[in-house]
């Protein structure tokens, strides 16, 4: 962040560019300058601008950005302004060349400390555009800033997620538990995540009017399970479920036993069983005697020559 009038710079380093980290950097910048500017110009970043629109149309802003700007009482200007874009982007090159170049750091805190040690050197220089010492001009800049509010505004990411059958909710490749007695499988819950905490809310208020389901510390990394064992109270334990190891063949219940003719019918339907059934053999003359008919014969008539 750069103060436009004096070019007084601020820089902090982070490992994330999500919504919460973005506005955490704002709070650090306000503390560095000692106040809040009346207007902040953005380059239409997604954490501030919901979508791009045609020139002249109203820019739709992110709800959390609107709430943050309202809490700190500054105006958001998210317009394409090439005349002012270089004032911020130039600072990136200056910090890279004078703070980071040729040095190794083991943590984010070391980088922030290196920038804080370099700021007095930067403020002692004469700026090439306005021709004054940056520190002298920054004094007038800081006086014009608005005071900080008594309480900070904590911005959180908000998402809707489904509850699993095990009362776990997936967010950012991690799982967080919710009370089993307050939710049902596939129910939608709202997640509000900050840099250090994840809270889960019901989308439908309870009888008392509260919607908070659970609050957990935010997991570091991926694949973690943040579970409160008390949340699983109410889930089926499986104590009454019949199980088998596969060594013993389960016996059918009495009402499932086959009838007297079911065995023979099953044997006929089974090829292997039908092949083992012995069938009696008798000549066809036996059937002729039983029916009183003669056996069918064919006499070929001879044709006399004419």
pLDDT at 258 over 90: no
- 152 and 203 in contact (C-beta within 8 Å)? no
Helix (H/G/I), strand (E/B), else coil: 13: coil
Helix (H/G/I), strand (E/B), else coil: 245: coil
Quick one: tokens of 45?
A: 């970043």
HSE-CB at 166 with a 13 A cutoff on CA atoms is: 10
% of the chain with per-residue pLDDT over 90: 46
pLDDT at 111: 95
- 194 and 216 in contact (C-beta within 8 Å)? no
pLDDT at 144 over 90: yes
* Domain 19-143 CATH (choose: 3.40.50, 3.30.420, 3.30.70, 2.60.200): 3.30.420
pLDDT at 262 over 70: no
Query: What is the Cα–Cα distance from 210 to 205, expressed in whole angstroms?
Result: 6
Helix (H/G/I), strand (E/B), else coil: 160: strand
Q: Give the list of residues 6+ apart from residue 204 with CB closer than 8 angstroms, or none.
A: 211
**C-alpha torsion sign, points 73, 41, 23, 120:** negative
Query: What is the Cα–Cα distance from 248 to 21, expressed in whole angstroms?
Result: 59
149-199, pLDDT tens digit by residue? 999 888 888 889 999 998 999 998 999 999 999 999 999 999 998 888 999
Bridge-partner residues for 198, per DSSP? 193, 216
How far the first Cα of the chain sits from its last, in Å, is: 127
Burial 16-36 (b: 16+ CB within 10 A, else e): eebbbbbbbbbbbbbebbebb
Quick one: tokens of 277?
A: 């059934």
Query: Can you tell me the mean pLDDT for 116-128?
Result: 93
| pLDDT top residue among 11 and 155 | 11
214 DSSP 8-state letter? E
Query: What is the Cα–Cα distance from 294 to 285, expressed in whole angstroms?
Result: 9
113: pLDDT confidence band, cut at 50, 70 and 90? very high
Q: Domain ranges for the chain, please list them.
A: 19-143, 157-232
Query: Can you tell me the mean pLDDT for 17-25?
Result: 88
């Amino acid at each position: 962040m750069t103060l436009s009038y004096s070019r007084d710079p601020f820089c902090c380093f982070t490992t994330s560019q999500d919504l919460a980290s973005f506005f955490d950097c704002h709070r650090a910048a306000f503390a560095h300058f000692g106040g809040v500017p009346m207007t902040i110009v953005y380059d239409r970043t997604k954490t501030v601008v919901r979508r791009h629109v045609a020139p002249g149309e109203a820019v739709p802003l992110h709800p959390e950005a609107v709430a943050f700007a309202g809490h700190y009482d500054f105006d958001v200007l998210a317009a394409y302004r090439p005349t002012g874009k270089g004032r911020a982007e130039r600072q990136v090159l200056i910090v890279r060349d004078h703070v980071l170049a040729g040095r190794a750091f083991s943590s984010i805190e070391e980088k922030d400390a290196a920038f804080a040690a370099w700021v007095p050197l930067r403020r002692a220089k004469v700026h090439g555009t306005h021709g004054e010492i940056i520190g002298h001009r920054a004094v007038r800049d800081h006086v014009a800033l608005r005071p900080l509010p008594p309480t900070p505004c904590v911005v959180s990411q908000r998402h809707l997620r489904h509850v699993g059958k095990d009362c776990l909710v997936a967010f950012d490749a991690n799982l967080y538990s919710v009370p089993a007695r307050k939710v049902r499988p596939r129910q939608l819950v709202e997640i509000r995540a900050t840099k250090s905490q994840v809270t889960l809310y019901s989308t439908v208020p309870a009888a008392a009017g509260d919607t908070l389901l659970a609050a957990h510390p935010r997991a570091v990394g991926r694949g973690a399970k943040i579970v409160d064992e008390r949340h699983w109270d109410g889930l089926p334990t499986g104590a009454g479920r019949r199980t088998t190891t596969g060594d013993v063949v389960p016996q059918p219940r009495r009402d499932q036993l086959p009838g007297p003719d079911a065995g023979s019918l099953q044997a006929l339907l089974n090829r292997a069983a039908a092949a083992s059934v012995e069938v009696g053999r008798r000549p066809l003359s036996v059937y002729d005697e039983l029916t009183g008919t003669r056996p069918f014969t064919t006499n070929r008539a001879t044709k006399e020559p004419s």
